[in-house]
Amino acid sequence: MSGARILVCDDDPQIRRALALILRDAGYEVLLAASAQEALDRAAVAGPHLAIVDLVLPDQHGIEVCRQLREWSEMPILVLSAIDEEQTKVEALHRGADDYVTKPFGPGELVARVEAALRRAGRDPSEPRIEVDGLIVDLAAHAVFVDGAEVHLTPTEFSLLRVLVLNRGLLITHGQLLTEVWGPQYADATPVLRTHIANLRSKLGPLERGRRLIRTDSGIGYRFSA
């Protein structure tokens, strides 16, 4: 998605400059913010296609930025932080982040993750509309409805649901899901997958709890069995 607008929120001016250079060289338009409030303001005005958010900010925690962005936007959110603790990563993913990259980072890896996140958020008008047991997944419109009410999924959650519903009844291994949604370099990131599946199940609400649409094959993977 060359030309996409990317919001970068980091209080370190050197990191902001480095990210701006890396992303502009990759063909992206870059919006810079040094604080949480500046990032939220720029996001509301400019409508970026993706946000990169640090966790340690002068006015608010980056996880709170993720939460507030996710309240009104479905754009991919990538957390970029020096904090390498599993609990922090899981909390960020629960609050709306789609990916988590630890500092220091390689420019190639960062661009690859941005490209993957934008690809997951993309739409293909030729894709079908799937209806099963009160669930409607409109792949072309990138929309999900449960018993007539629209459910807002993050791009990653939507990509996971897309893979599962298109392979209804089939067991999809952890590695297959991770490779399909995140790429082959993430084939072993099972804890990240489990967090996103838990978020997806929660958003499907009573439909999921009552009928168990996404079934777990312990230690192996998941299947959509509505």
Predicted local confidence at residue 52, as pLDDT: 97
User: What is the C-alpha to C-alpha distance for residues 159 and 175, in angstroms, rounded to an integer?
Assistant: 15
Percentage with pLDDT > 70 across the chain: 94
- Render pLDDT for 85-121 as a digit per residue (tens, 0 to 9): 888 988 998 888 999 999 988 999 899 989 888 887 7
**Per-residue pLDDT at 127:** 63
Residue range 33-60: average pLDDT?
92
Average pLDDT over residues 35-62: 92
Structure tokens at 131: 């209806």
Residue 138, SS3 per DSSP? strand
What residues contact 134, with CB distance under 8 A and at least 6 apart?
146, 147, 207
As beta bridge partners, residue 151 has 144
- In whole numbers, what is the pLDDT of the chain averaged over residues? 87
- Ramachandran angles phi, psi of 212, nearest 5°: 50, 70
The tens digit of pLDDT for each residue in 117-172 reads 888 777 555 567 888 878 888 887 788 998 888 888 888 899 899 889 888 888 88
Q: How much is the pLDDT for 3?
A: 72
Task: Give the pLDDT confidence score for residue 72 in this predicted structure.
Answer: 83
Q: What is the pLDDT of residue 63?
A: 95
The single residue listed with the structure tokens 């930025």 is: 65
Contact residues for 154 (Cβ-Cβ < 8 A; gap 6+) = 70, 74, 76, 77, 96, 98, 199
Please list the residues that pair with 173 across neighbouring strands. 221
Largest interatomic CA distance in the chain: 52
Domains and CATH numbers, the chain: 5-121 (3.40.50.2300), 129-224 (1.10.10.10)
Query: Which pLDDT score is estimated for 110?
Result: 92
List the one residue out of 214, 74, 54, 37 whose CA is nearest residue 153: 74
What does pTM read for this prediction? 0.65
Contact 2, 27 (CB under 8 A): yes
Cα 126 from Cα 138, distance rounded (Å): 11
Assign residue 196 a region (left: φ > 0; alpha: ψ between -120 and 50; beta: otherwise): alpha
Contact predicate 217/223, CB 8 Å: yes
Query: Which of 19-23, 53-57, 107-111 shows the lowest per-residue confidence on average (mean pLDDT)?
Result: 107-111
